[in-house]
A and B are shown apart, each in its own frame.
Chain A
Amino acid sequence: MTKRLILAIIILLSLSRCALAAGTGRIVSLAPNVTEILYSLGLEKRVVAVTDFCDYPPEAKSKPKVGGMVNPSLEAIVRMKPDIVIMAEDGNPKELEERIRGLGINTYVVRAKRLRELPGEIERLGKALKVEKKAEKLSFEIENAIAGLRKRNPAKTGSRALFIVWPEPLIVAGPGTAINDALELLGWENIAKDAAAEYPKYSIDEIIIRSPQVIFMAKGHDASFDRRLLKKLSGVRAVKEGRVYYLGDPIMRLSPRIVEGIREMAAYGN
């Protein structure tokens, strides 16, 4: 009797482990925001490799690497024996996805680019990776947090803002980006929202003409570039009134952490 019980337990355990290992067990992530989402879904153990750019959470940095986002090493990916490779449409080339599929490896492409698409994408991903419950919970949390931030409406509605991604060449966040969504969520009007591209090269004159009241700048590059740029923008209202704020990584990544980034942004409201 005991023997049978033990046998049954052993069989049950190994079956459940099989179920876990088969299908979507081993995951390779080819984008930093994907890695963050996977960790937030508690899938740390299943992530077998990431890219050189996956730096959050810090534990992710110690995972085996497969190279960059645009041309990762196919050999390295294959060697990881992944059950699924997860990519981001915004960051990995389409040909890469086709090639990996051509090698007989399952792929999943995260297509979300806008803030509002994030919760839905997390749920979809959760289904594909068989962690629906966690995904639903996470997605719900994110939706709530965003709704909460919208209510607070820290900016005087209509006040103008600009998010500078890179000072030289001058690149800003334009329409169709999560950053733009975040600004509008908090009540700001992105002066670059009618630009021709998502991350356009913007003209300094235009910024001076439109004179935003608040300027956000991404951190992560040499301060001397920022200073040079701000000198040129000294006539702009935001610079004159000292309302130039530096924001960290979170706002730039479409992952659960973006909520943090939006909170950071909100803290600088009026």
Chain B
Amino acid sequence: MENILLDRVTFSYGKKETIKRFSISFGKGEFCALIGPNGAGKSTILKLCSGILKPQSGKIKLFNKDLEGYPSKERAGLVSYLPQLLDTNVSFKVMELAEMGLYPGGGGLSPDEAIGVAGLKEKAGYSITELSAGEKRRAFFAMLLVQGAKTLLLDEPLSHLDIKYQVELVKLLKDIIEKSGITVVMAVHDINTVFQFQKVCVIKDGGLFAAGSPGEIITKELIREVFEVEAENLLPQRIL
């Protein structure tokens, strides 16, 4: 039984068909990256998986049951979503934000633990407006940890982080996956990062171009076709 299953899902923003008959699934314990050029549809797919967007056709199933059919609180225990842009002119404190992860019921870490894991222990009493971009993201991430949903959908979480925290975040996620068997699906922008993932899904023009382990599917040809760039300019050691 997959955490999330998309079956021939089509979604349009207005007239433009963004996602075309897309099928994919994410299973327990997977650590998966979604990669593709801007506008390919990565964010849209994550939003469809979270239930924020509803497809025009096709099915989306969460643990074998229709995503639509879940009561909101139950759904929140099974899938959580962190958007790319975080609306942060609210002056909640780091601790308050983490505690909001308890709203759907709280199946994850305690707020204290989550803040510690996110490396914000000293700043628990700070307002999130006083944090740097990366720290803000980690504060929200702590909230997700408290929420403890079985599937984490993260939209480009690494973009605003120092490389140190990027590495830490990935390590942290892998740890949690191992310990609690959650599934993590992350949209990433930088192709260099995909090799840390167990599985990669390449999205192009609203369709699934390829899926598999990064070592297998990331080839010179793929990079040329999807990103329209010569691999030599990107990852000389890896590909060549």
Physical contact A–B (CB less than 8 Å): no
